[in-house]
Structure 1
Amino acid sequence: MNPILAKTFGGLSKQYYFRQLFFAVLMSAFFIAIGFRQKDGSIAIGAILMLFVSTFLYPYSRFVYESIIEFIIGNNTFFVNAIFMMFVKIFTMLVCFMLAIFIAPVGLLYLYFRNSANGS
């Protein structure tokens, strides 16, 4: 594999990547289902292409979000209402999915420099 690709796209653990990819596929399926429920019963090719790109970039977008939250919160624990927390979690997942094309490059750059510094 190309060393640049290995340091960027291969920078996340497989377990983390596939877990986040699972949720991205669920969100894509949700948006495709909504698209097919439109009056004409079709979805634009551009929308499907954007969903495809967002699906594969979502794990890196989520990595950036979780890294920022970990930096801000640290090892603190917050006790909040579970229903409220689920709404916040779903909201942040949707934001990371919809903005993955803009957020993921930051994560890919970080992974590249981190893995280059580690000598891998």
Structure 2
Amino acid sequence: MEFVKKVFKEVEPSYLIKSYIIAAIIFFVFKSANLGIGPTIYTFICALLFPFSAIVWDSFAGLMMGNNMLILPIPVVLIWKFIKFVLLFMFAVFIAPIGVLYLAIRAKSHQ
């Protein structure tokens, strides 16, 4: 339980709230498709892990982009964000452990 507290302390509460709201929206969209109990359980687990997969992406994008900024048309940005959120959501089971490990290492280095 102490491990979970340390990991969650490393994330800004506003980031978690935003990520869980996005995850809830995606979860309910998938749930409305009535795919059955197996896919529903999987999407619920993905919804719980989504913020940690988003942390991996944000850290990676920050590392690659640095302080550079791309100027793109709004429709392109919205389509990209939608695709990014859905992919991070669907693969959260595989990506999120990297994010949890990253946060655990960061928490340990702050001690």
TM-score, normalised to structure 2, is 0.94
Once the two structures are superposed, what CA deviation does each residue of 1:32-73 show, in whole Å capped at 9, x if it has no partner? Answer: 1122xxxxxxx3111111111000100000010011001100
Residue 61 of structure 1 pairs with residue 53 of structure 2: yes
Structure 2 residue corresponding to 1:75, chosen from 49, 67, 88: 67
Residue 27 of structure 1 pairs with residue 26 of structure 2: yes
**After superposition, where does 1:1-120 map in structure 2 within 5 Å?**
2-35=1-34, 43-119=35-111
| Partner Cα distance (1:3, 1:113) in 2 | 14
Structure 1 residue 3 displacement after superposition:
2.0
Structure 1 residue 10 displacement after superposition:
3.9
Q: Which amino acid aligns with 2:98?
A: V
SS at match of 1:34: coil
Runs of 4+ in 1 over 6 A off after TM superposition: none
* Aligned-residue CA RMSD (Å): 1.1
Instruction: Give identity over the alignment, percent.
Output: 26
User: Is residue 9–residue 108 contact of structure 1 (8 Å, CA) maintained in 2?
Assistant: no
Q: Is there any run of 5+ residues in structure 2 with no aligned partner, and where?
A: none
| Partner Cα distance (2:73, 2:40) in 1 | 36
SS at match of 2:59: helix
Greater fraction of residues in helix: 2
**Bigger Rg over Cα:** 1
